[in-house]
Each structure stands twice: as structure tokens, then as C-alpha cells.
Chain A
Amino acid sequence: MASFIQLLVSGLATGAIYALIAIGFTLLWQTSQTINFAQGEFVMLPAFFVLTAMNLGAPYWLAALIGIALAVVILGVLFKAIIVDPMIKHGVLPLVITTIALSLFLKESVKDFYSSQAQPFPALVAPRDLHFLGAVVSLQSVVVLAVAVASVIALHLLLNKTRLGRCMQATAQNPTVARILGIPVGRMVLYTFLINGVLVAIASLLISPIYLAKFTNGETLGMAAFIAAIIGGFNQVRGAILGGIILGVLDNLSAAYLSSSYRGAFPLLILIVVILFRPQGLLGRAEERAV
């Protein structure tokens, strides 16, 4: 039981990070039909922004801010302006190819210009164990969970309680009507790219201390985010959250209790079952599209 709680908490922590990545992924899909196959590399990259800033002498908090800012500019604004905007009118597939090429580009760039070795990455808190109901839970997992939950709540408030968020939802649901109602649709789409930049940067700060910062990190993370997004429902933020959590917990529990060599297979089997029997996802609705 104690080890179960331990696995559950660390699973929730990983799942919360997956959820952050998956939310950004679904946001881009909803507002611009971009399936971003480089999303995993988007998470890998900000860690290296932070490390570079720290190598130049910045303290951790400043480096983290610089990392988030660079992620917003490069992975948000530039990604949209240089790659998505020229291609979006030609359908989904060329854009898919381009993001695959982009993921290769980012991976190889980090490998060649920074290092091919895994880099230690500073954690938010010093490693310490908490004792809870007889189980030993690492403080880091709890902090990761807290930061991820805070980010999701902030995003939820932004999307549902502000005028800006309502405009973004309208854009996602029906761009034509949104434009008729006077919403600057182009700017709203841009905002979702900026939000994605912030989300991947936060995810990067949370996950890099656990996995170490390495150029290949994006491969598993990107895949996890896709699966989470689809399991939960492509068209709902809370679907992406549910999907991420299911995936993180399941991954930890199945590796411990079922088979570790096939741990990668369980999420995929769930994915196939969900797609076949509930293609809109667990929480998604078939017709409606909401941010």
C-alpha cells in the first residue's frame, strides 16, 4: 500500500506534466489545425535556454524567466510566423511533415551546438522526502504537482473568466462567426501559440530535473502528449488534463505491477481502444469544439 501511494504520487506528478504539454497541443489544434509533431522537442528546448543563461552567469530564477521568454518568442511567435502561417492553407499533411522536420532540426541543433550528453538540471526545491500515510513521497513530486495544478488553474481562469479567454474560445469554436462578431481572430490564434510557449517552458522546467536535460527527451514526451490529448479528447482542455493524468499514473503502475518491458504498450493499447470506441476522446464531444 505504501509503495502504491508512492507510485501514485509520482505518477500524478508525471501525469500533470504530460497534461501541460497536451493542453498546449490541443490548443494549437483547435485554433489553427496544427498537429505539432515537434511538441516534445518544444519541451526539450527551453531547458537548454535556461542552461545557457545559467552558464552566462544568470541566477536560476532569472534564467528560468529568460527561458520562458525565449520559448514564447521562438516557439510561439516565430514558429507561427515562419512555419504555420505560410502552410496552414495547404492542409494538414504538409504541416505535419514540416513539424517532423522541425523536431529533427531542433534535436540535431541542440546536439551539435550544446551537447549530446545528458545535462544535470537544477530542481525547483532541494531533494527531500516527505512521510505521508506511511509512504515516502519525494518533495519534488509534490512541488511539480503543485506548479502544474497552479498553471492549469491559471489557464482555466484565463480561458473562462476573462473577456480575452471568451474571445479565444469563440475563435476556436467558429472562426467565421467570431470574425463577424468583431473578434480579431488572427491575434487570438497568436495568443494560443504564446500560451503554448509558456506551457512547454513550464513543463520543461518541471521535467528536466527528473529526466536530465537531453536532446532526445522530446521523443517520449511528444508521444505522451499526443496520447494524452487523444485519450482525453482533442477538443477539451479538461480532456487533455484527464488524459495526461491517466497516462502518468498508468505508466508508473503498469511498469511496477504488470510488465516493465511492455510499459510503453499499455498507453498505446488504451489509445487504440479509445479511438475505436470513443474517437472523440473520453471527455470530448463529437460536434462541439471548445477551448
Chain B
Amino acid sequence: MNRFGLLTVAVAAVAAIVLPFLLKPFGIYLISMWVVLTIAAIGLNLTLGYAGQVSMAQGAFVGIGAYAVALLTAAGWPFFPAFVIAGLLCFAIGWLLGYPALRVQHHYLAFVTLAFNTLVFLVLRNEEWLTNGTYGIAGTERPHLFGLSTDGARAFYFFCLGMLVLLAAATWWMLRSPWGRAFVALRENPIRALSLGLDTRRYTLMAFALGSTLGGLAGGLYAPLVQFIEPNSFSLNMSFNLLLMVIVGGSGRFFGPFVGALIAVLLPEWMRIAEGYYLIIYAMLVMILMVFCPTGVLGLVEKLFKPKKPPAAAAAPTLKAEATSR
């Protein structure tokens, strides 16, 4: 990362710490939502952006995580064991969802995961004995950390922010480990990766499992943040939204999900000045952005700040381009 990038991250970090002291409760809720959805989007970016496995089921994993934490804490469990269980559960289910990816690719995989998402939604809605159906579950407890309660909006925001930093750091480290290289190899050329002795089968499953785990953990924070979960929150719309965050931010770029989530969470709210038409304007802006810069916001920034590179390298984030930019 260059000096400009470091500076931007530093400014963003300061803003993330100072902002909650300046905002009203709803503003704090929104940036908390940004933090939570960023975690889920980082997971999807891992699966989709780095490992190249199209998943339209990330919203389902957020839902599974949210329901796991909400149900377990309601049954008297403390938050942290429930949170870990949510992650493990999503790891296991994500691993299983990876199996179709061994057989089919691209748009077929998109449709399998899409169908999976709808199935999860139907189970959440119909199995009332477990999930309370469309009535949802209200009032998930917020955790206590070192004897400190995070019941307040600001305290919970910082708790989520801490989780984001922790998980993002872990992801960053993982992407620089041989695993991360293996994921990119899987995306760029699976046959070559296989011929070089990579166990592509294991890495494909792992890409799904790890991405889903992050989705589940985000869900584990979502339930105590929103305080009310119901099946509709985790329908396809959530998955589309997360996909939008990854692509709009810049898929396969580490900070892409941060930017994408910022746009997807805050832009519709800013557009509220346009009253009833805000979703129309939001949808238009997304379309315009995609038409003019399909590599996402970070792709656009890269293009603007690296005019010397040949356009071919800037257009496609290939393995070679990533290796040289380090």
C-alpha cells in the first residue's frame, strides 16, 4: 500500500473513533450497521473477490448467525459462547455449500446459492417452533465485556468496531499467507493451480466456509444491534445488498467492502432528502457508477491515481497486477 492509501486509512480510523461522539443515536445506529455489514461483506469478498466463487447466499449466513445468537442468548447462554457457536455453525454450513461449487461454476453456482438463500428464508419463516416465524425475535441481549456493559449505542458501536478490526486483521493476515495466495490462484486459473499441486478442492470449500463464517459472525452482531430479527431481513435482498457492497466497493480489493458498505448503508439515508424518491435515486446512482466504473469505487480511484500503467493492467485485477503493486 502506498502513502496515499495509508493516509486514507488513518483518516478513516480517526473518523470511526471520533464520529460516534458527534452523532445522534440514529447516526450511531447507522455507522454500527455499517460496521456489521462490512464484516459480512469482507466475508463475501473473500469468497467472491479473492477465491472467485460466486455466492448469493451471504445474507442467509448473516441470518443463520443472527438467529443462532438470538436463540442461544434467549436460552440463557452468555454472548460470547453463542457468538462462537454462530461462527462455527456457519463454517460448517458454508463448507457444505461449497460442495456444489466443486461441480458447477459462475452463473450456475450463483443460482444454487440463490436457491439455498431462499430455502433458509423459508425455514426461518415456517419453522415457528424454533424461530417464532414472521413474529421474529426481539430484545437480544448485548454482551458484557470485562465487566463493562455494551447496552448503550455508543458502547456497542465500539464493541462492533473492535470486532471489525480484529476480523479484518485476521483476514488481512490470512490473505498474505499461502492460503490467500491459493485463493487468488483458484480465481485466476484453477487448472494451473491444480497442476501446481494445490488442493483446489479443499481451498474451494475453505473459501466458502471462511466467507460464510464472517457472514455468521456479522449476524451475531446484527441481532443485538437491531434488537429485532425476522426472516424478511435475511431474504435475497440482504444477499443482493452484500453483493452490491462488494462489487461497488471493488471486488478482490481488501478495502472494497468497507467502501461498498459505506455506500450501501449511508447513501440511501443521505438520499432521504429526496423523500419518497430516495430509492429511485439510489438505484440510479448505483447503475451510473457501474456503467462508468465496473471495477468499483476503488477501481476508479486506482485508475485516477495510476495513469502511468497501461490500461489493460488497470482494467483487470489479475494476479500479476497484484503481485507488482505490492
Q: Does chain A bind chain B? A: yes
Give the interface of A toward B (CB within 8 A). Answer: 29, 35, 82-83, 86-87, 90-98, 100-102, 104-105, 108-109, 112, 223, 226-227, 230, 234, 261-262, 264-265, 268-269, 271-272, 275-276, 279
Give the interface of B toward A (CB within 8 A). Answer: 54, 100, 103-104, 106-108, 110-112, 114-116, 118-119, 122, 125-126, 240, 243-244, 247-248, 251, 276-277, 279-280, 282-284, 286-287, 290-292, 294-295, 315
- Contact check, B283 vs A105: say whether CB atoms are below 8 A apart: yes
With contact pairs A268-B115, A279-B108 given, residues A98 and B280 touching in the complex (Cβ less than 8 Å): no
- Contact check, B118 vs A97: say whether CB atoms are below 8 A apart: no
Which residue of B is nearest A105, CB measured? B283
Cα A30 to Cα B115 in complex, Å, equals 22
- Contact check, B118 vs A264: say whether CB atoms are below 8 A apart: yes
Which residue of A is nearest B275, CB measured? A112
Q: Is the interface of B mostly helix, strand, loop or mixed?
A: helix
With contact pairs A98-B291, A268-B119 given, residues A92 and B279 touching in the complex (Cβ less than 8 Å): no
- Contact check, B111 vs A98: say whether CB atoms are below 8 A apart: no
Cα A230 to Cα B122 in complex, Å, equals 21
- Contact check, B283 vs A108: say whether CB atoms are below 8 A apart: yes
- Contact check, A92 vs B100: say whether CB atoms are below 8 A apart: no
Count chain A CB atoms within 10 A of each CB in B103, B125, B291 and give the residue with the most. Answer: B291
Cα A108 to Cα B279 in complex, Å, equals 7
Partner of A102, one of B111, B287, B315: B287
B302 smallest CB distance to A (angstroms): 15
Partner of B111, one of A83, A101, A265, A271: A271
- Contact check, A91 vs B104: say whether CB atoms are below 8 A apart: no
Cα A105 to Cα B277 in complex, Å, equals 10
- Contact check, B116 vs A272: say whether CB atoms are below 8 A apart: yes
Partner of B122, one of A83, A264, A275: A264
B94 smallest CB distance to A (angstroms): 16
- Contact check, B100 vs A276: say whether CB atoms are below 8 A apart: yes
Which residue of B is nearest A100, CB measured? B240
A-B contact count (CB 8 A): 105
- Contact check, B103 vs A276: say whether CB atoms are below 8 A apart: yes
With contact pairs A264-B118, A268-B118 given, residues A275 and B100 touching in the complex (Cβ less than 8 Å): yes
16 residue pairs from A and B, CB less than 8 Å apart? A92-B106, A93-B54, A95-B290, A97-B243, A97-B247, A97-B248, A102-B283, A104-B279, A105-B287, A108-B279, A226-B111, A268-B118, A269-B119, A275-B103, A275-B104, A275-B111
Partner of A261, one of B126, B251, B284, B294: B126
Complex interface: chain A residues within 8 A of B292 (CB): 86
- Contact check, A275 vs B108: say whether CB atoms are below 8 A apart: yes
A96 smallest CB distance to B (angstroms): 8
Cα A82 to Cα B248 in complex, Å, equals 19
Count chain B CB atoms within 10 A of each CB in A35, A95, A271 and give the residue with the most. Answer: A271
Besides the known contacts A93-B251, A272-B116, 18 further A-B residue pairs in the complex with CB atoms under 8 A apart: A91-B294, A95-B290, A97-B248, A97-B290, A98-B290, A101-B283, A101-B290, A105-B287, A108-B279, A112-B277, A223-B118, A230-B108, A261-B125, A261-B126, A265-B122, A268-B115, A272-B112, A276-B103
Which residue of A is nearest B117, CB measured? A268
- Contact check, B107 vs A92: say whether CB atoms are below 8 A apart: yes
- Contact check, B291 vs A87: say whether CB atoms are below 8 A apart: yes
> What 7 A-B pairs have minimum CB-CB distances, sorted nearest first?
A90-B294, A105-B283, A94-B294, A101-B286, A104-B283, A268-B115, A108-B279
- Contact check, B286 vs A97: say whether CB atoms are below 8 A apart: yes
- Contact check, A262 vs B122: say whether CB atoms are below 8 A apart: yes
Cα A258 to Cα B57 in complex, Å, equals 27
Complex interface: chain A residues within 8 A of B118 (CB): 223, 264-265, 268
Complex interface: chain A residues within 8 A of B248 (CB): 97
A283 smallest CB distance to B (angstroms): 16
Cα A107 to Cα B104 in complex, Å, equals 32
Partner of B280, one of A82, A105, A226: A105
B305 smallest CB distance to A (angstroms): 20
Partner of B119, one of A100, A265, A279: A265
Which residue of B is nearest A279, CB measured? B104
A62 smallest CB distance to B (angstroms): 29
Complex interface: chain B residues within 8 A of A102 (CB): 283, 287
- Contact check, B115 vs A272: say whether CB atoms are below 8 A apart: yes
With contact pairs A105-B284, A272-B112, A275-B104 given, residues A262 and B294 touching in the complex (Cβ less than 8 Å): no
- Contact check, B286 vs A98: say whether CB atoms are below 8 A apart: yes
Cα A112 to Cα B279 in complex, Å, equals 10
B106 smallest CB distance to A (angstroms): 7
Complex interface: chain A residues within 8 A of B106 (CB): 92
Complex interface: chain B residues within 8 A of A269 (CB): 119
- Contact check, A98 vs B287: say whether CB atoms are below 8 A apart: yes
Complex interface: chain A residues within 8 A of B277 (CB): 108, 112
Partner of A94, one of B119, B283, B290: B290
Cα A234 to Cα B122 in complex, Å, equals 26
Cα A261 to Cα B111 in complex, Å, equals 22
With contact pairs A97-B248, A98-B287 given, residues A271 and B115 touching in the complex (Cβ less than 8 Å): yes
